[in-house]
Chain A
Amino acid sequence: MLTSITLQNFKSFGEPQEVPLEPITVLVGPNNSGKSNLLSLGKFIRDCVAQSAPLVLNADPLLFHRPRSGDGSLLVAWSGDAGLYYAKLEADGKREERFRRPGLPNWKSAGEVFGSQSLPFLEGLQHLTRHGSPGGEFRPIIAPLVGSHDVKLSLDALRADSGDANAPLGVDGSNLAAVVNRWRSGDPDRSEEFENVIRTYVPEIRRVLAPATQNGSSTHFHLEFEHNDAQKFDARHVSDGVLFFAGLVAHVIDAGDGALILMEEPENSIHPRRLHEVVELFRKLVADKKCQFIIATHAPALLDEFRDQPEAILLFRRRPNGTVVRPLTKVPELMGALEKTKPGEMLASGFFNDGF
């Protein structure tokens, strides 16, 4: 599990911000305050591993915060149960990349690990993911972000048929039908887990099907929700909330054990009462599968689920010199108010937008 992420000059983050993390961390703040930029770190790291950091940096001119803050360097660092990772790219191109295992006092540079003094920025990450590379003892340090899973569902994507039997589940929920079809035909454990969760929380549904339709030479898969009375509703006719819930459930099951799941506004289209069940599902996955969630939300009802874990709530605000992140527990007047009111009320009343 990650315990913190530190960013400097990364997208909206200017001055260095250390973001403490819990098994479930909830990000709240106005639009454009930087929540999504924190969540985008997973994709940035995955892209750097899949391509290379210089390519990724060149492809996104907005990746560096403008104007640069502090010493002008881009800093990406995190810590967790498996150790610490630190990568810095200075304005003059000088770079550092280091690893530290828990309980050991000394950092080890990527150059020492891989026997090269001139590795490109973040190249150590890429090396570590290669089969048989040295430094295998550091692999668990980078695993959460390299294997992270983004979720930002869209109704259009969830409703669309899937034309590729092997397509992965998209961040927006696209290809859900193909994934369900694959589970039903070849992964009975996941298929059963998916249907059990759906049945538990949406008791009127007894099965989720994804039959294939042949159209000329192409095959399409489409979702069907079978109710207890045997009526079937396809993805175009089932309610938005049920479809979103199915998309969320599929994502967290697809992510697998120990996954870091970075989620944008899971509350969309979901009834406030069902949000309680969504959070309980996340708690179950934390307890049973050691998953970790970082969730950006604007929903008071979702936030109220963390009334008794204020350490899980992080407040985001955009200042001229970049995103500022404060744990709710570090804002004394709000902690005092929390004895009498709920965090959702504070969010709805604008108390999280200012004063820190």
Chain B
Amino acid sequence: MLIAIASENDVYDGAVFELLLSRILDHPVTRWKNDMVLRGHTAVVGLAEAYLRRADAVGIHHALFVVDNDGGSRSGPEHEADHDQQTEAANDDGCRTCRVLQAIPSWWKDGKRHYCVAVPVQTLETWLLFLRGDPFPGEPEKLYHRRVLKDRFFGKPLPPEQERARMAIEQVRKADALERLRHRRSFRLFEEQLSLWR
């Protein structure tokens, strides 16, 4: 299955989510290789339609948008099923899942194509630190700063992206990774959307 994974860094986030999708769907997944990166949720909101047009043009019908929450739950809410997408999307500090969902054009949502929005809270490294078994002072989601999370997972100085990807994939490959990640609400929200992909 060829999937468009729109993320900030294809070598790192793209590779991690490719593996996560393969494991969740229990089906080999290959990510679409292209030269586009969508740096953060504002870029996703602005460029989602153009990105999907290009994916559609090469016959891709599954798209995943990956955006970190970046400490957003301190100023904006985590996603809830009863969120009003338009209201959240109109607010810069609104729910990022809603903002990205709102940016996906209606023609992609017509039933023939599939989409998913992954917003790890607070960042992908929250999931990875949790998988690695790092101690958190309280709830993992209460550690907000993305740079602190990245420093803790990768150490300093920040290794090159190939090494970052290797470190991340090492965690995601663990036999019990999905089972453990399901303890994280933001992961469950991501996984639930994929039920329509099977």
Contact = CB atoms under 8 A, between A and B. Distances in A.
A309 interface: yes
A205 to B, nearest CB: 16
- Which applies to chain B's interface (DSSP): helix, strand, loop or mixed? loop
A308 B37 contact: no
B157 interface: yes
Contact of A287 (B35, B151, B157): B157
With most chain A CB atoms within 10 A of its CB, the pick from B40, B150, B157 is B157
Interface stretch (A2-10, A222-230, A278-286): A278-286
Nearest to B147: A308
Interface residues of A, number: 18
A189 B37 CA distance: 33
A280 B147 contact: no
A24 B162 CA distance: 18
Contacts of B163: 287
B40 A308 contact: no
A273 B37 contact: yes
A60 interface: no
Nearest to B74: A339
Contacts of A220: none
Contacts of B37: 273, 276
Interface in B96-145: 145
Interface in A45-84: none
Contact of A339 (B70, B150, B151, B161): B70
A283 B159 contact: yes
A266 interface: no
Contacts of B40: 342
B39 interface: yes
Contacts of B158: 283, 308-309
Contacts of A307: 147
A280 B150 contact: no
A23 B39 CA distance: 24
Nearest to B9: A276
B59 interface: no
Contact of B157 (A22, A280, A339): A22
Given A283-B159, A308-B146, A340-B75, 20 more contacts: A22-B157, A273-B35, A273-B37, A280-B160, A283-B158, A283-B160, A284-B160, A287-B157, A287-B159, A287-B160, A287-B163, A304-B39, A307-B147, A308-B147, A308-B151, A309-B147, A310-B147, A339-B71, A342-B39, A342-B40
Interface of B: 35, 37, 39-40, 70-71, 75, 145-147, 150-151, 157-163
Interface of A: 22-24, 273, 276, 280, 283-284, 286-287, 304, 307-310, 339-340, 342
10 contacts: A22-B157, A280-B160, A283-B157, A283-B159, A286-B157, A287-B160, A304-B39, A339-B145, A340-B75, A342-B39
